Amino acid sequence: MTHHETRRPRHAAAQEPLWRHVVGDVLRRRRRAQGRTLQDVADVAGISMPYLSEVERGRKEASSEMLAAAAGALGLGLVDVLALAQGELARAARLRPVSVAAVTVLGAGPGGGQGRGTVCLAA
């Protein structure tokens, strides 16, 4: 990788987590809740233990086939992984600070005359 490829945009960390991080966290939490080792789950899934470790740590973006295999080894379907990841993303979005800008809008004031109002926009 070049220096340019390894750099993350500075604003990305403040926005929302990456999909691969969320999915990795979902898989790791489920595996640990079951008291299973990386090697055990990797063997059942038919994937290498180092690869599964990289997926769990959010360093690799798993293909749908690999994700289905890992999820299946944990007793999950893809829909389960999606639902759990969606919950994580929703929580992260609620915790993320929202920047609010006030915008002055020209429009009809009380009684039909011209007036100014303030509209707040959240981004």
Helices (H) and strands (E) in the chain, counts: 7, 2
Measured in degrees and rounded to the nearest 5, phi and psi for residue 29 equal: -60, -40
Q: Which of 4-13, 36-45, 59-68, 83-92 has the lowest mean pLDDT?
A: 4-13
Greater confidence (74 vs 120) lies with 74
Q: Reply yes or no on whether the pLDDT at 86 is more than 60.
A: yes
Tokens of 43: 């063997």
Helix (H, G, I), strand (E, B) or coil at 120: strand
Distance CA 94, CA 66 (A): 30
Distance CA 98, CA 123 (A): 6
- Identify the pLDDT of residue 103: 43
- Identify the pLDDT of residue 14: 56
- Identify the pLDDT of residue 102: 45
Q: Percent of the chain at pLDDT above 90?
A: 58
Please determine, looking at this structure, whether the domain spanning 3-95 carries the CATH number 1.10.260.40.
yes
Q: Reply yes or no on whether the pLDDT at 18 is more than 90.
A: yes
Return mean pLDDT, the chain: 79
Q: Reply yes or no on whether the pLDDT at 123 is more than 80.
A: no
- Identify the pLDDT of residue 111: 53
- Identify the pLDDT of residue 96: 66
